[in-house]
Structure 1
Amino acid sequence: MDDAGLVSFFMEIAALHSSEEVTFLCIGTDRSTGDALGPLTGSKLVEHGFRHVIGTLPSPCDADNLVARVAEIPSGHIVVAVDACLGPPIALGYYFVSSEPLQPAQSVGANLPAVGHYSLAAVVDMNGPKPYRTLQTTPLHRVMVMAEHIAIAAAKGFGLQ
């Protein structure tokens, strides 16, 4: 899905759940350009007025603290999980969305628990033989633009913009 489709994705969620009962779980680290999509998106969501965001630049939600951060989600909240991913060349710059949980760190072979009621995986770079290196060398500009597009789409979808 492209940027325009993201607004529809968030509008569908907003039709069922208010922004007050939704927590965005933005997964990633600020120590890798490709994997910074989560905390960049989380920080942008906060700037757009979302109150329930876990995973920002000052306080990332990464592989080391994912389980503890998930425990911070208020009871009864609907979770929208956001993460970067690697994909085929044709999908570069696009998004995979689902009304199912997201499996974090799948690109790099990590075994983390599936999270979220809804998921958004942003294809920040192409899948290849060295996924860690690919994420380390992903252009920061691409990741920043995609994070901004996700936050704007969420704000439009939930009527915050």
Structure 2
Amino acid sequence: MSGKTIVQTDNGVEGLQAFLAHVAERHPDRSRVVFLCIGTDRSTGDSFGPLVGTKLEERGWQHVFGTLKQPCDAKRFAEALEQSAERENAVIIAVDACLGKPLSVGKYITAEGPLTPGQATGARLPAVGDYSIAGVVNVSSHKPYMTLQTTSLYTVMQMAETVAELVDQAWKQASG
């Protein structure tokens, strides 16, 4: 990607919808869109990415890496990154959970540019994505693993459903 990364924080549903509409307008061909949904099914908070991936697959999106069945966790991240990069002219949208300020919980951080997975837990993974969506699933703390483990499943599931629904809406509007 060329140019400066544009990051929008504290996006509610309207901000996320506008972001996805922008991406869909620029890249209306669904067959070129690859979702890299990062996280694990073994932690409530960190299941945001795999939940989004599962919901996108259920809606018929073909190029999804990271689902509840096959999470894109730290162990599978390099493999998923390699496979997604093999898709010619692919547009990669990275999705991951993050921790944030109390008033940001339930909102999204979107960027025209990559996200760096695992920052809250100290994981050292490379930045990924032409576009990115980070779901703020809980409040930052000095014990990020514990915070992710005790995150509300209801909140994470609602956020994942919202992302999947808005992705579908954005590409349906862009194509027609």
Q: TM-score, normalised by structure 2?
A: 0.88
2:164 corresponds in structure 1 to 151
1:12 corresponds in structure 2 to 22
Cα deviation, 1:25-83, whole Å, max 9, x if unaligned, reads 00000000000001100000111221111101111101111011111111320100000
Please give the residue correspondences for 1:3-152 in structure 2 after superposition, counting only pairs within 5 Å. Answer: 3-17=13-27, 18-73=29-84, 74-152=87-165
Contact 1:81 1:120 in 2 (8 A): yes
**Residue range with higher mean Cα deviation, 137-146 or 10-19:** 10-19
* Aligned equivalents of 2:89, 2:71: Cα separation in 1: 22
Q: How many matched pairs?
A: 160
User: Where has structure 1 moved over 4 Å in runs of 4 or more?
Assistant: none
Instruction: Give the deviation of 1:90 after TM superposition.
Output: 1.2
Cα deviation, 1:101-131, whole Å, max 9, x if unaligned, reads 0100111111100000000000000001100
Q: Report percent identity of matched pairs.
A: 47
Amino acid at match of 1:123: V
* Aligned equivalents of 1:157, 1:6: Cα separation in 2: 10
In structure 1, the gaps of 5 or more residues are: none
The alignment's C-alpha RMSD in Å is 1.0
In structure 2, the gaps of 5 or more residues are: 1-10
Instruction: Give the deviation of 1:10 after TM superposition.
Output: 1.1
